[in-house]
Amino acid sequence: MAEQATQIHQAVSQLRCIGCGRTALPDRFRCEHCRDLLEIIYPGWNDRGPGGLSASSLKKLWRDRRSSLSPIDQSGVWRFREILPEIPQPEIITIKEGNTPVYELPHCARAAGIQQLFAKHQGMNPTGSFKDTGMTVAASFARQAGYRWVACASTGNTSASMAAYAARGGLHSLVLIPDGKISWSKLSQSLDYGAITCQLKTDFDGCVRVLNEVVERMPVYLLNSVNPYRVEGQKTAAFELLEQFDWQPPEHIIVPGGNLANSSAIGKALREMKQLGFISRVPRVSVIQAEGANPLVRTVRETGGEKLVPVHAETMATAIRIGNPASWKKALRVIRETEGTVEQVSEVEIAAAKAEIGAEGIGCEPASAVTLAGLKKLVRSGFVKPNESVVLVLTGHLLKDSEFTLKFHRGDLFDGAQQQSEGPLKPHQRAPLVLEPSVDAVIELLQSAEK
């Protein structure tokens, strides 16, 4: 089966500007005419479908690959290679990304006021975040294009992922991160994977500005999410999710919003699945941001989506501490097409939601928890009905930010005015207890816990 599968050709792709629609553009990240972002299209799909196969043949092929021993079939991204840009197999850098689980969250469903709630846990990727699904495609593209250096600006997860894929692929990597504003675990990852890691005395948006200049002047390949190959890889999470639902779409998919590439990727996947006949109905995609890092929410509410409202971003969910998101137009298109919405949530709401996801034995990093906090608001407003099925996209692993988790449980997360709103968090807090090494003391504690 694997032998036969690897014969099937990947798709021939083209770059198209999302603004002026021009195609056949040089391999850059913005349109040379109107400066808008680029996206990847597959002209051949109109005539013969991806890989020359129908939706039902592809569904079977992709499922069969799950039992293959070939490394690229074992990747939960390259398993779907018919819907990805063509990259020669020897150039593919894979760490067996994707194939992430879907979990049911019954307690969180009850807390939100709905009957069925699922989490697609993208934090279960090799470096602990959803970034791996896009990185395998874009890093492989960099290698086959002959680049020796790759680079990104990051709030921590992109850099961890890029450093890992660069190391596996024999590439050098340069990381720019905001000094003191990313979690230690993420910083330690890029160090361990051997990246040159620079902490710039600015925020994420400042790191992006510096890096954009650097890649203009040096032969370094940019692996930020403006890179359309990353978006293609991230698309596979939605294909995999629908496969896990036996191609019966849920009513809602809820995604955290930072630089807004992930929501764009998921929406592109849904659009393609509908176009190719994999599904007959598209779920609504809604994007949730932290109140302190809410440029998309403000863009929708203040300008009707016409003009980006950049903000000075501030949130403890450092992964999404982004004020000037690159992919805002792509994300808005997804929200409009799927009739989704945007919502914002407070720091206390994020902390409570994160603890609730943790208490289900699953856990996630703070940025991922905005999805549950947002869902609660969307149920209260009537946008999500109690009988509708909802999938939260959990983007990062619990261990990505253990400092946040420890501070939360010790009651040290908030200070000043915010501390007063911490009351509702108390039932979720489980501070570690320090005891004498006495059997009686432990038994006494157990007995009081039982009550």
Binding site for ligand F0G (CB under 6 A): 129, 131, 154-158, 225, 256-262, 319-320, 365, 367-368, 395-396
Residue 17 to residue 35: CA distance in whole angstroms: 9
180 exposure class (CB count in 10 Å sphere: 0-12, 13-18, 19+): exposed
Q: How far is the CB of 439 from ligand F0G (least distance, A)?
A: 42
Q: How far is the CB of 363 from ligand F0G (least distance, A)?
A: 13
Decide: 157 and 131 in contact? Cβ < 8 Å: yes
Q: How far is the CB of 83 from ligand F0G (least distance, A)?
A: 19
Residue 13 or residue 129: which is nearer to ligand F0G going by CB?
Answer: 129
- One-letter-per-residue 3-state SS of 22-79: CECCCCCCECCCCCCEEEEECCCHHHHCHHHCCHHHHHHHHHHHHHCCCHHHHCCCHH
Residue 25 to residue 241: CA distance in whole angstroms: 32
Residue 129 or residue 133: which is nearer to ligand F0G going by CB?
Answer: 129
Q: How far is the CB of 357 from ligand F0G (least distance, A)?
A: 13
How wide is the angle at C-alpha 366 spanned by C-alphas 394 and 392, nearest 5°?
25
Q: How far is the CB of 354 from ligand F0G (least distance, A)?
A: 12
Q: How far is the CB of 70 from ligand F0G (least distance, A)?
A: 30
- One-letter-per-residue 3-state SS of 105-168: CHHHHHHHCCCCEEEEEHHHCCCCECHHHHHHHHHHHHHHCCCCEEEEECCCHHHHHHHHHHHH
Q: How far is the CB of 161 from ligand F0G (least distance, A)?
A: 8
Q: How far is the CB of 208 from ligand F0G (least distance, A)?
A: 9
Residue 184 to residue 86: CA distance in whole angstroms: 36
Cβ atoms < 10 Å from Cβ of 291:
15
Q: How far is the CB of 125 from ligand F0G (least distance, A)?
A: 11
Q: How far is the CB of 320 from ligand F0G (least distance, A)?
A: 5
Q: How many CA atoms lie within 13 A of 365 on its CB side?
A: 29
Q: What are phi and psi of 140, to 5 degrees?
A: -65, -40
Residue 15 or residue 255: which is nearer to ligand F0G going by CB?
Answer: 255
| Residues in CB range of 348: below 8 A, 6 or more apart | 414, 418, 421, 422, 424, 425
Residue 255 or residue 276: which is nearer to ligand F0G going by CB?
Answer: 255
Q: How many CA atoms lie within 13 A of 275 on its CB side?
A: 16
* Cα Rg, the chain, nearest whole Å: 22
| Residues in CB range of 431: below 8 A, 6 or more apart | 409, 410, 411
Cβ atoms < 10 Å from Cβ of 69:
8
Residue 276 or residue 316: which is nearer to ligand F0G going by CB?
Answer: 316
Residue 132 or residue 356: which is nearer to ligand F0G going by CB?
Answer: 132
Q: How far is the CB of 260 from ligand F0G (least distance, A)?
A: 5
Q: How many CA atoms lie within 13 A of 7 on its CB side?
A: 4
353 exposure class (CB count in 10 Å sphere: 0-12, 13-18, 19+): buried
Residue 61 or residue 223: which is nearer to ligand F0G going by CB?
Answer: 223
Decide: 373 and 345 in contact? Cβ < 8 Å: yes
Question: Which structure tokens are listed for 237?
Answer: 């999470």
Helix (H, G, I), strand (E, B) or coil at 440: helix
Residue 201 or residue 426: which is nearer to ligand F0G going by CB?
Answer: 201
Which residue of this chain has its Cβ atom nearest to ligand F0G in the complex?
A: 258
